[in-house]
Structure 1
Amino acid sequence: MTADGGESGLASALGATPELIAVRADGLAQLEIFDGCPPDLLRPLAAHLRPLQAPVGQVLTRQGERAVSFLLIQSGRAEVRHLGDDGEVVLGEVSEGMIVGEIALLRDKPRTATVTVTEPLTAYLGDHAAFEILADLPGLSRRMVRTARQRLAAFVTPIPVVLKDGTELMLRPALPGDSERTSNGPIEFSTETLYRRFMSMRAPSMSLMNYLFQVDYVNHFVWVLVDGADGPVVADVRFVRDVADSSLAEIAFIVGDAYQGRGIGNVMMDALVIAAQVSGVKRFSGRVLSDNVPMRTILDRFGARWEREEPGVVITEFDVPKTEALQIDPELAVEIRASVRQVLRAIG
């Protein structure tokens, strides 16, 4: 390797010539995930990648193994399976332009799924150093998040929820496009509703909405209630872990005007409790307007004790409730718990 650690040294270390690296960079530039990235910008990444060809049936990653690399698929397909307490479950499929195994690599955790080739596959194999280069490319972090969440969306099954008035809605984790649906959808969130949620009479900005739905399901978990499988978001509830104390998470929720008074808040709060239990959150905190009676009433059933933080605003902190304290139907609770576990496996 050269003294300055340049591309020639890397090429020598990985057994690739500068000419071969240029060819790899041209190939990377053709993938959708690198749309707009010129080949020259992709050469440092290409120098850190090794080509891989895999026939049908070859195992690319195995559940339980230590993660030391990721795969960037050029062509072909592979199936993702997880072996759990209830047997083996197909989590989804990966194909051209998708990244495999990056989350386990970043977390330095064992693989949570086995990936097996179902259609002859070509890919590039990279390590931590390659992933750091990948993540630093302009706009790539945002695209990787979008790709990971789209991969997740492929196997998240909405759960039917029947309200006390007989209305059937669908509960699922937040997914790509939900911020756009909420901001520009047909569901009205009045100034009073927005004020209670955001403590402002103005509608939230798109950047705030993008943040609110830009979730990782570990530190920021969001349930949404939609009117129909592909319908608009009518309510959401979330927890966001405290940076200094991962056992503590702040909670918040909002319900569209036409859907208020139907018991949605209680259903969503029970679903959030289940997500917190599965995720290891031990305590909830909340900050609400003192006259936000609906939210305070929902939290009061879990033993919330309120303190005045500033004029018109109160805060609370309480233990995540036990399952026995929930009002949700037990069978629905089982479905919700399974959904949370599936999501956490998928991003693990």
Structure 2
Amino acid sequence: MADRNMLSDARSYCVDATMLDGATIRIRAIRPDDQERLHEHFRSLSEKSVYYRFMGFKRDLTPQDLKRLTDLDFKNHVGLAATLTENGRERFVGVGRYICGADPHRAEVAFAVRDAFQGHGIATLLLEHLSLIADANGVSEFEADVLGENRQMLEVFAHSGFQSGQSLESGVVHLHSSTRKSSKD
């Protein structure tokens, strides 16, 4: 798990984690030099995965999007990548981030996992690590809007070990959960 130094400066966050199948991935902070890896990750997602993540169709990430999604302050906007290295080349298999709004104690959280890696526990791992950073930054609650048909993401939150509440409006499930695990764990 993360040490105190990584939590105090999440720009250096980097840990190895184990997926449900026993394989190891690296979870690390997204950096400004990740624009190409993030773009490749986005282009690898199916239309359905893009639709679930952005709640609509998005054809590509603009240069402005890539800058905004990789040049992070790691206080109000934190991004982590789940990576694998193959043939000496690092690639993203999942990304997760949180962004604080007007209330610095609450943040919206979102994930995108490559289709071939969905169901391996990557979003759950990213949620756990984002929660550690959020808690260290004084963020006590995550919120997420998830399409009601996106069962996999709803299950991530339902089985995450976080206390959650939810509401449904226009086919979108609004979830909120504490960044601290419940005492039953």
Contact 2:43–2:60 (CA under 8 A) maintained in structure 1: no
CA apart distance, 1:186: 9.5
Q: CA deviation at 1:251?
A: 0.7
- Is 1:189–2:45 an aligned residue pair? yes
**Cα offset, 1:321, TM superposition:** 2.4
For 2:100, which of 241, 261, 266 is the aligned residue? 241
Counterpart in the other structure of 1:306: 166
Matching residue's letter, 1:254: A
Whichever of the two has the greater Rg, that structure is: 1
- Answer whether contact 1:222 1:236 (CA < 8 A) is retained: yes
Which amino acid in 1 is paired with 2:133?
Answer: A
- Partner SS, residue 110 of structure 2: strand
CA contact (8 A) 2:41 2:114 kept: no
TM (norm. structure 2) is 0.81
Percent same amino acid among aligned pairs? 26
1:232 aligns with 2:88: no
Residue 209 (structure 1) aligns with: 66
1:222 paired residue number = 79
- For the pair 1:173 / 2:29, whether they are aligned, the reply is yes
Contact 2:82 2:93 in 1 (8 A): yes
Q: What CA distance in whole angstroms lies between the structure 2 residues aligned with 1:190 and 1:297?
A: 20
In the alignment, structure 2 segments of 5+ residues that lack a partner are: none
Q: Aligned in 2, Cα 1:265/1:157: closer, same or farther, shift over 3 Å?
A: closer
Question: Following superposition of structure 1 onto structure 2, how do residues 97-112 of structure 1 map, counting pairs within 5 Å?
Answer: none
Match among 308, 314, 320 for residue 179 of structure 2: 320
Q: Distance in 1 between matches of 2:177 and 2:132?
A: 15
> Contact 1:178/1:233 (CA < 8 Å) preserved in 2?
no
What are the Cα deviations for residues 101-132 of structure 1, in whole angstroms up to 9, with x where unaligned? xxxxxxxxxxx9xxxxxxxxxxxxxxxxxxxx
Residue by residue, what CA displacement relative to the aligned partner does 1:86-112 show, whole Å, maximum 9, x if unpaired? Answer: 9xx9x9xxxxxxxxxxxxxxxxxxxx9
Amino acid at match of 1:166: G
Seen in structure 2, the aligned counterparts of structure 1 residues 246 and 295 have a Cα distance that, compared at 3 Å, is same
1:187–1:233: 8 Å Cα contact kept in structure 2? no
**What SS class does the counterpart of residue 305 from structure 1 fall into?**
strand
Deviation at 1:173, TM superposition (A): 0.7
Structure 1 residues 222-231 or 257-266, which shifts more? 222-231
Q: Which moved more, 1:208-217 or 1:269-278?
A: 208-217
Q: Which secondary structure state, in structure 2, belongs to the residue aligned with residue 246 of structure 1?
A: coil
Q: 1:255 to 1:227 in 2, by over 3 A?
A: same
Letter aligned with residue 168 of structure 2:
R
Does the C-alpha gap of structure 1 residues 183 and 214 become closer, same or farther in structure 2, counting only changes over 3 Å? same
2:118 aligned with 1:274, yes or no? no
Give, in angstroms, the shift of residue 185 of structure 1.
Answer: 5.4
RMSD: 2.7
Structure 1 unpaired stretches of 5+: 1-85, 92-111, 113-151, 327-348
Match of 1:71 in 2: none
Within the alignment, does 1:287 sit opposite 2:183 as a pair?
Answer: no
Point out the structure with the larger strand share: 2
